[in-house]
């Protein structure tokens, strides 16, 4: 199972401008970063 914001490398997440299709806004980058942290925790806990 893959998580939202996860790249094609399992356990590696992309947030902000580097993400394909990002909207290029500060608030979006920060929000996606916060989301990615949550998903990293899920990944580490559940695989």
Nearer to ligand FAD, 20 or 46 (CB): 20
3-state SS track over 5-35: CECCCCCCECCHHHCCCCCCCHHHHHHHHHH
Distance CA 16, CA 36 (A): 10
Nearer to ligand FAD, 20 or 24 (CB): 24
State the nearest-atom distance from the C-beta of 26 to ligand FAD, in Å. Answer: 4
Nearer to ligand FAD, 18 or 42 (CB): 18
Secondary structure (3-state) at 40: helix
State the nearest-atom distance from the C-beta of 19 to ligand FAD, in Å. Answer: 8
């Amino acid at each position: 199972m893959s998580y939202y914001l996860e790249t094609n490398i399992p356990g590696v997440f992309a947030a902000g401008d580097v993400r394909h299709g990002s909207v290029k806004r500060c608030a979006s980058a920060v929000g996606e970063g916060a989301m990615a942290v949550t998903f990293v925790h899920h990944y580490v806990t559940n695989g």
